[in-house]
Amino acid sequence: MCLSCLNQIMLFSNNFPAISGRCSKLIPHSITTQTLLNGNLRPERSTSSPGAYGWRSFNMKCSYRHKKRANHALEPTAASGLRSLAVPSSLILPRQVDNTYRGYKLALWLFGLLVLMKAGISLGTIFNGYTAASSADGIPLDTFTPAGVRTVVSLFALWGLSQLMICLLCVLVLVRYRAMVPFMFALLLLEHLTRKLILQIMPIDTTGAPPGYFINLGLLGLMIVGLVLSLWSKGDQTHERKADEA
């Protein structure tokens, strides 16, 4: 049977509904003229009636279903990638401040070491500001006037006091409110980076290679590693794997 004949049969069945039931045995209503012209159909012997021919399309699935299935197949991968990159705000700013800690235990040890080091530096700048400014930071105080030296030492003592207050707050968090450990890591990291930015804009003249640079570099590494470990827990990884498998 040629394509032109099939086209005439379809038009005839649409104009005369009385015989559309008989024509539907030969040509399903879902077949269009464009489908016939594209050559997507081929005759196939029907198993129910030996004398009749059925028609089967190679492209019956529409592109919308293909796209929907493809997007559904990609959803777990995209969702797991977003979950691995995104950090929930409830971990840094918990709704309930208590002693519940969900991160790695190693982060608590790093937090304690960080607080101990910053407390020692703070006490050194308060009670021995001259040595801290001249030796640790490399500020040439011997070239300053006595009034200038007293000003620098006083500023170092004030800075040390503010750092000591932050350290006391960190001790309270470590002992009683461990849910705030990620927040304190983030706060200390923000303070450190902001201070470095100010020194880049308004630098202080120093002499030699002061050891304070390497000490600050070590503190920066502790803060970054501690923050990552405090936000990353094994329970979250297990939950993500179960969600991906489901």
- Cα–Cα separations (whole angstroms), residue 168 to 114, 177, 183: 12, 13, 15
* Same domain? 139 vs 228: yes
Q: How is residue 136 written in tokens?
A: 């640790």
Which residues are bridge partners to 41 per DSSP?
Answer: 57
In sequence order, the 6+-apart residues with CB closer than 8 A to the CB of 29 are 20
Residue 90 is predicted with a pLDDT of 74
Residue 245 is predicted with a pLDDT of 53
Q: How confident is the model over 139-186, as pLDDT tens digits?
A: 999 999 999 999 999 999 999 999 999 999 999 999 999 999 999 999
* Same domain? 45 vs 154: no
- Cα–Cα separations (whole angstroms), residue 129 to 91, 142, 195: 37, 14, 18
Q: How confident is the model over 182-202, as pLDDT tens digits?
A: 999 999 999 999 999 999 999
Which domain range does residue 207 map to?
91-236
Question: Has residue 76 been placed in a domain?
Answer: no
Record the pTM: 0.61
* Same domain? 103 vs 170: yes
Question: Has residue 85 been placed in a domain?
Answer: no
* Same domain? 48 vs 150: no
Q: How confident is the model over 36-88, as pLDDT tens digits?
A: 445 544 444 444 444 444 444 444 444 545 555 545 444 444 444 444 445 56
* Same domain? 27 vs 124: no
Residue 229 neighbours by CB distance under 10 Å: 21
Residue 56 is predicted with a pLDDT of 44
CA dist 234 and 66 (Å) reads 37
Closest CA to 168 of 230, 113, 119: 119
